[in-house]
Amino acid sequence: MRTTFFLVRKEFLQIFRDRTTVFQIFMIPVIQLLILANAATFDVKRVRMLVVDEDRTTVSTGLVERLEGGRQFRVVRYEPSDVGVDYALLDRQVTAVLHIPRRFEEDLVRRGRAPVQLVLNSEEGATAGIVQSYATAILDSYARELDRTLPAVRAGSNTVRRVAPLDLRTRRWYNPTRNYKHWMVPALMVSLTTIIGLLLTAQNIVREDELGTLEQLNVTPMTKLQFIAGKLIPFWLIALVIFSLGLLIGRLVFGIPMRGSLLLVYLAAAVYLIVVLGLGLWISTVTRTQQQAMFVAFFMILIFLLMSGLFTPVESMPKWAQLVAEANPVKHFVGIMRAVLVRGAGIETVGRPIVGLAVAGIGVLALAVVRYRKSVA
């Protein structure tokens, strides 16, 4: 116990004496969180659109006005025909093309339906889907408006019994303002803390080995457990501080919701960090140079981040990948954060993942302790 205390003390002294490291540890996550929280969004604004209006009636012009009216589309070019459309898309002058064919108004009046063509640059597949949904929403609402105002002249009858459109009331729970930050900031925070934590622990033991101080420690009566604990505790505390900074920034700067219990969040964080930092320490025990350690850590981080639901939903992954993701601690913690902060979930939802993380934490630490050898065979 006392030995561990001295080891922890030494680690803190070393870390805080190195100004570069201190800057990196605290500033990189904080600065990145402040800046990048604004970047992580699929929100599409002012999509540049090219309109080919072959109808040129009040109804078709009305549609174009409707499109421009919201902040979602910006008509940058009007063309009388399709010429030049391909190049405009290729050259990225526009992202969307709306083609209104010749009998647009007539079709609506006579048949109650009319087609239009929408061509979207789906280079960035994710946005294409969103742009499409924006466009169809506008088309739908315009259609509803026309329904009330256009005279209905159907072939063979003077008036038609007008059918009421579907009275659809949609509600978005938890994030009605569609603020991407509410969704992304908790996850970003987790990622930034994880990256720094994992990198620091992964190269820590290897570094001592390379410098020669490890051997001196191995000659002492210090036990493996004391050693690992002495390495884990300082970084665990530091990571919790970074995490708290992130929460503070999230709340004060970005106004992220905190609907659930903060205590629960911290419990989850405490357990989660043991897993992540333990993994870092384990990496440090199986690699022989700092370079190797960094690469393995990098590798691991990237896989963890990509399959964590941070950027893309876990539900979108194929079933087998979702199964693999169950082994990903980041996925669980990000899920817990979002569930508790955004949805206000409680222990009934996050209890199981927390226990899972705890078990993983113990397992990983055991691995590191077993793997570390004070004497070479």
Partner 1 sequence: MRAFLGFVRKETLHLLRDRQTLAILILFPVVQVLIFGFAVRTDVEDIAIAIVDPTPDIATNQLRERVATSDRFHLVEVVPGTQGLELEFRRGTIRQALVLPRDVERKLGRGDSLPVQLLTDGSDPNTGGIMQGYATAILQRWYRDAVPAGGPLRIEAETRMRYNPTLESAYLFVPGLIAFVLTLMSALMTAISITREKETGTMEMLLVSPIRPTAIVAGKVIPYIVLGFIGVVLVLVAARTVFGVPLQGSLLLLLAESGLYILTALALGIVISTRVPNQRAAMIAALAGLMMPTLLLSGFIFPLDSLPWPLQWLSSVVPARWFLTIVRGVMLKGAGLATLWQETLILIGMTMFLLAVGSRKLAIRLE
Partner 2 sequence: MSEPAITARDLTRRFGSFTAVNAITFEVEQGEVFGFLGANGAGKTTAMRMLIGVLQPTSGSATVAGFDIRAQPEQVRRRIGYMSQKFSLYEDLTVRENITLYGGIYGVSNQDIATRTGEILTRIGLEHAGNELVRDIPLGWKQQLAFSVALLHRPGVVFLDEPTSGVDPITRRRFWELIYETAAQGTTVLITTHYLDEAEYCRRISIMVDGAIAAMGTPTEVRQAVGAATLDDVFLKLTRPGAAA
Say whether residue 174 binds partner 1 (CB under 8 A): yes
**H/E element, 75:** strand 73-79
Residue at token pair 């004496």: 17
- Residue owning tokens 């979108």: 316
Q: Which of 150, 222, 267, 366 binds partner 2 (CB under 8 A)?
A: 222
- Can residue 345 be called a binding residue for partner 1 (CB under 8 A)? yes
CA–centroid distance for 74 within its chain:
27
* Min separation Cβ 217 and partner 1, Å: 18
- The residue among 6 and 23 lying less far from partner 2, judged by its C-beta, is 6
Q: Which backbone phi and psi does 82 adopt, to 5 degrees?
A: -75, -5
Q: Which does 324 bind (CB under 5 to 8 A by kind): partner 2, partner 1, none?
A: partner 1
Which of 61, 175, 218, 349 is the binder for partner 2 (CB under 8 A)?
218
Gyration radius (Cα) of the chain, Å? 29
Looking only at residues 299 through 318 of this chain, which bind partner 2 when binding is defined by CB under 8 A? Answer: none
Element (H, E) at 340: none
217 near partner 2, rule: CB under 8 A: yes
Give ∠ CA 149-153-155 in degrees, rounded to 5. 155
Residue number, 9 or 352, with CB nearest to partner 2: 9
CB atoms within 10 A of CB 352: 11
Which tokens sit at 331? 């996925």
Q: Determine if 219 is a binding residue for partner 2 (CB under 8 A).
A: yes
* Number of residues located near partner 2, criterion CB under 8 A: 27
The residue within the footprint of partner 1, chosen from 2, 17, 71, 172 (CB under 8 A), is 172
Q: Does 64 sit near partner 1 (CB under 8 A)?
A: no
Q: Whose Cβ is closer to partner 2: residue 72's or residue 204's?
A: 204
Q: Which stretch binds partner 1 (CB under 8 A): 76-84, 113-121, 262-270, 357-365?
A: 113-121
Instruction: Name the burial class of residue 256, with classes exposed (0-12), middle (13-18) and buried (19+) by CB atoms within 10 angstroms of its CB.
Output: buried
| By the rule CB under 8 A, 93 interacts with partner 1 | no
Rounded to whole angstroms, how far apart are CA atoms 46 and 49?
Answer: 9
Count the site residues for partner 1 by CB under 8 A: 124
Tokens read off for 184: 């992304």
Binding to partner 2 in span 174-213, by CB under 8 A: 211-213
Does position 215 bind partner 2 by CB under 8 A? Answer: yes
Residue 112 binding partner 1, by CB under 8 A: yes
Residue appearing with tokens 């949609």: 170
Our finding on whether 42 is near partner 2 (CB under 8 A) is no
Q: Does 326 bind partner 2 (CB under 8 A)?
A: no
How many whole angstroms separate alpha carbon 205 and alpha carbon 357? 24
Tell me the closest approach of the beta carbon of residue 20 to partner 2, in angstroms.
Answer: 12
| Helix (H/G/I), strand (E/B), else coil: 97 | strand
Residue 350 CA: distances (Å) to CA of 244, 334, 354: 20, 11, 6
User: Is position 288 an interface residue for partner 2 (rule: CB under 8 A)?
Assistant: no
Binding test (CB under 8 A) with partner 1, winner from 41, 218, 244, 261: 41
Q: How far is the CB of 319 from partner 2 (least distance, A)?
A: 47
Closest C-alpha among 27, 75, 66, 23 to residue 48: 75
**Phi-psi domain of 255 (left: phi exceeds 0; alpha: psi -120 through 50; beta: other):** left
Residue 224 CB, shortest distance to partner 2, in Å, is 11
**Residues 34, 39, 253, 355: which binds partner 1 (CB under 8 A)?**
39
How far is residue 362's CA from residue 368's CA, in Å, rounded to a whole number? Answer: 10
Instruction: State how far the Cα of 84 lies from the Cα of 87, in Å rounded to an integer.
Output: 5
Cβ-based nearer residue to partner 2, 36 or 214: 214
Identify which of 307, 281, 308 has the alpha carbon closest to the alpha carbon of residue 372. 281
Of the residues 20, 158, 177, 375, which one makes contact with partner 2 according to CB under 8 A: 375
Contact window for partner 2 (CB under 8 A) among 38-46, 96-104, 257-265, 369-377:
369-377
Cβ proximity to partner 1: between 13 and 137 the closer is: 137
Give me 33's structure tokens.
Answer: 């969180």
Binding residues for partner 2, per CB under 8 A?
2-3, 5-7, 9-10, 13-14, 17-18, 211-213, 215-223, 374-377
